[in-house]
Amino acid sequence: MITFDAESRCFHLANDRISYIIRLGAGKYPLHLYWGPRVRRVSEDLLSALSAYTDETFSLHGLPLDRLPQECPTYGCADLREGMLQVRHADGTHALDLQYESHAILSGKPPLAGLPSARGETAQTLVLTLTDGCSGLSVRLLYTLWEDVDIIARSVEIVNRGSAPVVLDRVLSACVDFEQADFSLLTLSGAWARERQPFLRPLVPGDQGVSTARGASSAQTSPFLALLSPGATEEQGLVYAFALCYSGSFTASVHVDQDFTARAMLGIQPFGFSWTLASGERFQAPEAYLCCSAQGLGGMSRQFHRLVHRHITTGPYAQTARPILINNWEATYFDFNEEKLLALARQARAVGIDLFVLDDGWFGHRDRDDSSLGDWWEDLRKLPQGLGGLSSQIHAMGMKFGLWVEPEMVSPDSRLYRAHPDWCIHVPGRLRTEARHQLVLDLSRPEVRDYIVEAISEALTRGQVDYVKWDMNRNITMWGSQGLPAGRQQELPHRYILGLYEVMGRVIRRFPQVLFESCAGGGGRFDLGLMCLMPQAWCSDDTDAWMRCRIQYGTSLLFPPSVMGAHVSAVPNHQTGRSSPLFTRAAVAMGGSYGYELDLGKLPEAELAQIRELNTRVHSMQQLLLYGDFYRLRSPFSGNDCAWMSVSPDRREAVVTHVFALAQPNTKPRLLRLRGLDPALDYRDADTGRVWGGDELLSRGLRLETPWNDYQAQQFHLVALPHGESRV
């Protein structure tokens, strides 16, 4: 898949569908020649794209690098654009002239030190080593290509082979210089309860993009951007997308320059970051994924979904059905005791729910959100028989038992804080800014990490826990670590994330059979980094069906349904006050890892019976819903409805979900054109028995019922008729 042609000095990374070509300009500068749909060979014409600067005329005189497409640009030697790397040498200067030293083509994919990354047993990796002769700083660029997914993983490792320390002020993970900037830029932005909404804008000269300095990948934006070629749509046209495998502050930006070329880059947020690299030390930057789709945004999403399922998520639940869960949070909030929980669990079991999750409030003396984080011992007032007693009774009902924890935090009103007031992130002498009455533990410190691993492990053992919801409910302010010298304080944001990955990894390795779901005040840290560790993440605290249509639609651009925790909750909805039918709430929750978050005791018998049926339905279709090829059909951002479908790999089964927002009188039935089906097959709706040809569904579509009342959903479970069976 990866070849090097010594004559043209080109590296060609290609699978059956995509090519990525790098050329060593003047034998020493890695230039970006091509990325896109597969090309068989490197033509004269492609090479002459760089013809103004052939090897003979190439020199640093006349600043050719300022106008050339590069793989690892640095500012200020001959390129005047912002680059991927910026350093400070011992003499205070920042020049960095990185030239080719060697390369290697490896089978497989090396893991990244301290950071989560995709697996690549079946992949190939190109390692390009560049060196700055003056300082001895060496940079390893890694490019991994898989056979089965149209994505290239890139990462950067810096090694200080000089004798003096170097300060890294900026280390981004990937850069692509596009020959032209005639793209629209798509990014995801939002807020708590309104996460990951898509925004599209044309590129213009200058800088544009998204970034965060909150210490988390954040609800406000996502480490992702896509560039849409003119005319690219949901289903067709060329789209280039970038995503970062990282859970901390990041930047993802595009710079459009004098020639109307576009430089896309992403990586760790440089603002507030620096890292001292002593002689002999290495720094590993997170992995970035570069996706090229010739099938529009839909094709891009299906590539990312495939990457997640085949190469990112791990553990016993990564490819399998997930238990249907009930979480007591919106049912009880902090107001519960063992009796109340057991009553809810019994009702849940009776309607076919598999997993009971005990949320916040089980430890210390936490009756509100203002105490006890850090004290991971059960509150015997609420749970007189402890976690073990509760869990045994739930297991005896035939259900699994899950537990909420927020390991990264400490409440000032806690035993932990009183014992170790310096363990939180803070600046001595300044106000310890609280959010939700809590402070953030300093995960850069080994003793803090050890405490968390032990305390959480003991709680999971006592509770015989099968599932963990790992929450994180505030962003970081007043950055300061008592474990770092003055010159290294700006390493804290990245060291925090490294500490987080270490802590999570240690806990997960101790409990390999447990299903872990990450959470951050809803979807405030929803990124590929955490998905390497935990195969599920709570998508949003907003459980309103229509809001979830919007949130899950935006989220699906990058993430498959299997990773999106989605629950049916009570009406009126606790976040919006809106009421929508039970079936609608369930149909929308089926767009993710399905569960409930309401007091079943308050529901009429008819609704409990409906929930029983819904659970049977989810169990029967879950593999398809979670892992099928996902197609967005109608955007809730551009109209009054939303629709999506999942199709099995053999195209013999599909589930189509459609939601109308506001009912409108006097309207004709509408048609919903489907995707991904086999035109040669006939499909029967398993619920109504109606039959259509796949060709008809692809070109004309399904006729939708005109809704009576607001927020109505329809779902079609299409199953191909056996070959030869008549379609009448």
359 binds ligand GLA (CB under 6 A): yes
Active-site residue identified among 132, 442, 527, 541: 541
Q: Which stretch binds ligand GLA (CB under 6 A): 80-88, 171-179, 518-526, 586-594?
A: 518-526
Q: How far is the CB of 330 from ligand GLA (least distance, A)?
A: 8
| Residue of this chain nearest to ligand GLA (CB atom) | 360
Q: For 496-519, b where at least 16 C-beta lie within 10 A, e where not — what string?
A: bbbbbbbbbebbbeebeebbbbbb
Mask: binding to ligand GLA, 391-430, rule CB under 6 A, as x and -? Answer: -------------x--------------------------
Q: Residue 187 or residue 411: which is nearer to ligand GLA going by CB?
A: 411
Q: How far is the CB of 523 from ligand GLA (least distance, A)?
A: 8
538 binds ligand GLA (CB under 6 A): yes
362 binds ligand GLA (CB under 6 A): no
Helices (H), 556-581: none
Helices (H), 271-337: 296-307, 329-332
Which residue, among 644, 647, 645, 643, has the nearest Cα to 659 in the 3D structure? 643
Q: How far is the CB of 87 from ligand GLA (least distance, A)?
A: 39
Q: Residue 275 or residue 329: which is nearer to ligand GLA going by CB?
A: 329
Taking CB under 6 A as the criterion, the residue among 183, 329, 363, 467 binding ligand GLA is: 329
Q: How far is the CB of 216 from ligand GLA (least distance, A)?
A: 13
Q: Residue 565 or residue 636: which is nearer to ligand GLA going by CB?
A: 565
Q: Is 471 considered catalytic here?
A: yes
Q: How many CB atoms lie within 10 A of CB 681?
A: 21
Residues contacting ligand GLA: total by CB under 6 A:
12
> In the numeric block, which tokens belong to residue 238?
């060329």
676 binds ligand GLA (CB under 6 A): no
Q: Residue 334 or residue 377: which is nearer to ligand GLA going by CB?
A: 334
Residue 719, classified by CB atoms within 10 Å of its CB into exposed (0-12), middle (13-18) or buried (19+), is: middle
Q: Is 641 considered catalytic here?
A: no
Q: How far is the CB of 692 from ligand GLA (least distance, A)?
A: 40
List Cβ neighbours of 360 (8 Å cut-off, separation of 6 or more): 329, 334, 366, 369, 404, 406, 471
Q: Which DSSP category does 285 fall into?
A: P
- First and final CA of the chain: distance in angstroms? 48
Q: Looking at the chain, how many residues does it have?
A: 728
162 binds ligand GLA (CB under 6 A): no
Taking CB under 6 A as the criterion, the residue among 378, 413, 442, 471 binding ligand GLA is: 471
d(CA 14, CA 532): 25
What residue type is 656 in one-letter code? V
d(CA 641, CA 658): 7
Q: Which stretch binds ligand GLA (CB under 6 A): 88-96, 97-105, 299-307, 515-523?
A: 515-523
d(CA 167, CA 164): 10
Strand partners, 266: 174, 252
473 binds ligand GLA (CB under 6 A): yes
Q: State whether the Cα torsion 494-499-502-505 is positive or negative.
A: negative
Cα 616 vs. chain centroid, distance in angstroms? 29
Pair 436, 406: CB distance under 8 Å: no
360 binds ligand GLA (CB under 6 A): yes
Which residue, among 294, 50, 52, 144, has the nearest Cα to 42 in the 3D structure? 50
Q: Residue 538 or residue 644: which is nearer to ligand GLA going by CB?
A: 538
Q: How far is the CB of 436 from ligand GLA (least distance, A)?
A: 8
Q: Residue 522 or residue 561: which is nearer to ligand GLA going by CB?
A: 522
Measured in degrees and rounded to the nearest 5, phi and psi for residue 661 equal: -80, -90
Active-site residue identified among 79, 359, 471, 544: 471
Instruction: Give me the active site residues, please.
Output: 471, 541
Contacts to ligand GLA by CB under 6 A: 329, 359-360, 369, 404, 471, 473, 519, 521-522, 538, 541
